[in-house]
Chains A and B, each alone.
Chain A
């Protein structure tokens, strides 16, 4: 039984800072990491492998050559085989084009390996784009049932039982195989790489697939030209309010002032009855 985990190399968005002079992103020196949600997907696959040793885990990433680093990381953690889709032609792809390329790549891996995938796992979203689109878009392209926001899963006969997070809580979903599941943060942390796997992963062969290696691909549907959406512009959001900031104040005094500020200006007055948001008159914020 084979599982494919799609992973992405992303900048650590928590470490990104804004240059106050130019008001632009400082991307320099920001480390590249395995998208954390993809790490949860890999962990879910690894847990299935713990239970069912016959499971083989493949990882696939699309990105520049240096994205190999996250594939090696996946090999060190749990993956058996890794593929990288990389071609300058694919640069500038939006989610729709990306999901097209990835689904072409997935089909190609099946041909090359002479296998099929019982499950395709993805992170819920990547922390750089935060779109949460690529998983379901691949599912649609490959005509697979989808389960998003998975927390944990287990094989039940020839189906997969997934506990997923919803806005209201959780639900248990049963999906036949093959299927696609996206994963969000579970209550546990993904495992560490063992040193032995890590050493082996540094020397492992990672197969790279370019546009020419995907024979059936329609070149008009990849890259910038194959993307229905266009980025018109980007800007750094301006923040700034001239609030009262008390520094170097004895905390007793500062908190007293804050308490009166809250009483006079900030606390909803009248009663403690929270008004439903819906009745609040207001314009677009």
Chain B
């Protein structure tokens, strides 16, 4: 696809739409050329524009459509698959400054918000009203628009689902500048194709989200974390499916290995997790959250869960039921990604999903596979939904060799995940980093439909070109 360059005339037209918010050349922030996974490369836009309203986005798109100029939309740029990297140049359109929460509907448990609101802000504002926005990706400084565009998941998915379960409606600007309003703040809809859900997770390739109607729920009053320590990872992972076979409903169920935890705690600078039980080293942990409205409701569950974990071979089970303790233990979990980025020059990751009863098998597969390569492996995961975060990291290798070895390793993992009945990515999306694997994973038929949908929305292929399909 041949695109046009941004001429000075076009730049002037765009500058008139967003005075003072259009940048070209060296003025463009280097942040607009990348996301948080630099291994997939950067892209240099010809122009960047910070938009403030649906009208501005619509006006920008009319010009770009007319002139055949690619547009890559971005929020906070915290993605991990190169989704917001302008690999075809053109313009970067940033919605981060559309950061107002427009209104809360406390009776219908909804919120209308602009896309640039940060996830942490949305969560905090909801909580002030006794409400909760449940999706809980680790990166709280992402924008809500970015979360919807990638259908972000997070730790609470096993009880509360992912972003898609909370998107009720949206305002979307199409490639030619037309403005669509999809969905409504109601609980049900059965009107034709569900375009709201189609746009969710479309990574800026079908339209530009400029307003969102999101569902909220009543916030639970209490949250308690249980931490089960195990002498080996396999025993820990074998306990996971049994949790679900019983009637417990944890809000989150995560697993870690000893090495990862130590790395994270050293990075955070605070050691809180028990590393030994009765003098024996802990090799793996399961971390669970239970929530509810009062202790009388949660206590019996905690009691049964504790017995259950001990029977499943836990060395001991610890509890965090005060804000300080809960914060302490989750800090290490949240710091993991930052810690990797800070500790290694080269890193790549995937977020494969496998059936929860096969996590252990999958872990031993990819760690064994990695044995033939020069990079190191770091991983942890949402044990409760089978979504893993698997990193290959290195400080010594040269980039080319690293990329090549990683590619082989990733391919082997995706093949195995496919065989096991899993998914290529649970919450990060395809972007352009996963494109080499996507078509093969889903097959020709699915790709054809993807391409047809793309063309229906964006016949000139100017929206985030080179991503998803």
Touching in the complex, A and B, CB below 8 A? yes
A binding-site residues for B, Cβ under 8 Å: 12, 31, 33-34, 36, 73, 76, 188-189, 191-196, 198-199, 202
Residues of B within 8 A of A193 (CB): 318-319, 321
B binding-site residues for A, Cβ under 8 Å: 226-227, 270-272, 274, 295, 299, 302-303, 305-306, 316-325, 328-329
**How far apart are the CA atoms of A191 and B317 in the complex, in Å?**
12
Please state if A194 and B317 are interface contacts (CB–CB under 8 Å): yes
Minimum Cβ distance to chain A for residue B51 (Å): 16
**How far apart are the CA atoms of A76 and B302 in the complex, in Å?**
14
Minimum Cβ distance to chain A for residue B256 (Å): 15
Q: Which 9 A-B pairs have the closest CB atoms?
A: A192-B318, A195-B306, A195-B317, A189-B272, A195-B319, A198-B319, A199-B303, A193-B319, A194-B318
* Smallest Cβ-Cβ distance to A76: which chain B residue: B319
Minimum Cβ distance to chain B for residue A75 (Å): 12
* Smallest Cβ-Cβ distance to A197: which chain B residue: B319
Please state if A33 and B324 are interface contacts (CB–CB under 8 Å): yes
Please state if B303 and A73 are interface contacts (CB–CB under 8 Å): no
Residues of B within 8 A of A12 (CB): 323
Known contacts A192-B274, A199-B302, A199-B306; A31 and B323 CB within 8 A of each other: yes
Residue from the set A195, A196, A202 with the largest chain B CB neighbour count within 10 Å = A195
Residues of A within 8 A of B329 (CB): 192
Residues of B within 8 A of A191 (CB): 274
Residues of A within 8 A of B227 (CB): 192
* Smallest Cβ-Cβ distance to B226: which chain A residue: A195
Please state if A34 and B317 are interface contacts (CB–CB under 8 Å): no
Residues of A within 8 A of B305 (CB): 195
Minimum Cβ distance to chain B for residue A123 (Å): 14
Please state if A34 and B274 are interface contacts (CB–CB under 8 Å): no
Summarize A's interface: helix, strand, loop or mixed.
Answer: mixed
9 more contacts with CB within 8 A, not counting A76-B319, A192-B319, are A31-B323, A189-B271, A193-B318, A194-B317, A195-B303, A195-B319, A198-B302, A199-B302, A199-B303
Minimum Cβ distance to chain A for residue B273 (Å): 8
**How far apart are the CA atoms of A76 and B295 in the complex, in Å?**
15
Residues of A within 8 A of B303 (CB): 195, 199
Known contacts A199-B299, A199-B306; A192 and B320 CB within 8 A of each other: yes
Residues of B within 8 A of A31 (CB): 322-323
Please state if B328 and A189 are interface contacts (CB–CB under 8 Å): yes
Please state if A192 and B322 are interface contacts (CB–CB under 8 Å): no
Minimum Cβ distance to chain B for residue A134 (Å): 22
28 example contacts (A-B, Cβ-Cβ < 8 A) are as follows A12-B323, A31-B323, A33-B323, A33-B324, A34-B322, A36-B324, A76-B319, A188-B271, A189-B271, A189-B328, A192-B227, A192-B320, A192-B325, A192-B329, A193-B318, A193-B319, A194-B317, A194-B319, A195-B302, A195-B303, A195-B305, A196-B306, A196-B317, A198-B302, A198-B319, A199-B299, A199-B302, A202-B299
Residues of A within 8 A of B270 (CB): 189
Minimum Cβ distance to chain B for residue A113 (Å): 28
Minimum Cβ distance to chain B for residue A12 (Å): 7
Residues of B within 8 A of A198 (CB): 302, 319, 321
Minimum Cβ distance to chain B for residue A170 (Å): 20
**How far apart are the CA atoms of A191 and B325 in the complex, in Å?**
10
Minimum Cβ distance to chain B for residue A247 (Å): 13
* Smallest Cβ-Cβ distance to B227: which chain A residue: A192
**How far apart are the CA atoms of A34 and B226 in the complex, in Å?**
19
Residues of B within 8 A of A73 (CB): 322
Residues of A within 8 A of B322 (CB): 31, 33-34, 73
Please state if B318 and A195 are interface contacts (CB–CB under 8 Å): yes
Residues of A within 8 A of B321 (CB): 193, 198
Which residue from A36, A194, A199 sits with its C-beta under 8 Å from B316?
A: A194
* Smallest Cβ-Cβ distance to B320: which chain A residue: A192
* Smallest Cβ-Cβ distance to B316: which chain A residue: A194
Residue from the set B226, B324, B328 with the largest chain A CB neighbour count within 10 Å = B324
Residue from the set B227, B270, B318 with the largest chain A CB neighbour count within 10 Å = B318
Minimum Cβ distance to chain B for residue A242 (Å): 27
**How far apart are the CA atoms of A33 and B325 in the complex, in Å?**
11
Residues of B within 8 A of A189 (CB): 270-272, 328
Minimum Cβ distance to chain A for residue B351 (Å): 29
* Smallest Cβ-Cβ distance to A203: which chain B residue: B299
* Smallest Cβ-Cβ distance to B278: which chain A residue: A50
Minimum Cβ distance to chain B for residue A39 (Å): 9
* Smallest Cβ-Cβ distance to A70: which chain B residue: B322
**How far apart are the CA atoms of A280 and B240 in the complex, in Å?**
66
Residues of A within 8 A of B274 (CB): 191-192
Residues of B within 8 A of A192 (CB): 227, 272, 274, 318-320, 325, 329
**How far apart are the CA atoms of A104 and B137 in the complex, in Å?**
53
**How far apart are the CA atoms of A62 and B299 in the complex, in Å?**
26
Residues of B within 8 A of A76 (CB): 319
Residue from the set A12, A73, A76, A196 with the largest chain B CB neighbour count within 10 Å = A196
**How far apart are the CA atoms of A191 and B322 in the complex, in Å?**
13
**How far apart are the CA atoms of A36 and B227 in the complex, in Å?**
21
Residues of B within 8 A of A199 (CB): 299, 302-303, 306
Minimum Cβ distance to chain A for residue B128 (Å): 11
Residues of B within 8 A of A195 (CB): 226, 302-303, 305-306, 317-319
**How far apart are the CA atoms of A196 and B319 in the complex, in Å?**
9
Minimum Cβ distance to chain A for residue B231 (Å): 16
Residues of A within 8 A of B272 (CB): 189, 192
* Smallest Cβ-Cβ distance to A73: which chain B residue: B322
**How far apart are the CA atoms of A34 and B322 in the complex, in Å?**
9
Residues of B within 8 A of A194 (CB): 316-319
**How far apart are the CA atoms of A193 and B318 in the complex, in Å?**
6
Minimum Cβ distance to chain A for residue B194 (Å): 39
**How far apart are the CA atoms of A113 and B324 in the complex, in Å?**
34
**How far apart are the CA atoms of A12 and B306 in the complex, in Å?**
29
* Smallest Cβ-Cβ distance to B309: which chain A residue: A195
**How far apart are the CA atoms of A137 and B424 in the complex, in Å?**
65
Minimum Cβ distance to chain B for residue A185 (Å): 12
**How far apart are the CA atoms of A34 and B324 in the complex, in Å?**
10
* Smallest Cβ-Cβ distance to B303: which chain A residue: A199
**How far apart are the CA atoms of A12 and B322 in the complex, in Å?**
11
Residues of A within 8 A of B320 (CB): 192
Residues of A within 8 A of B306 (CB): 195-196, 199
Minimum Cβ distance to chain B for residue A234 (Å): 26
Minimum Cβ distance to chain B for residue A253 (Å): 13
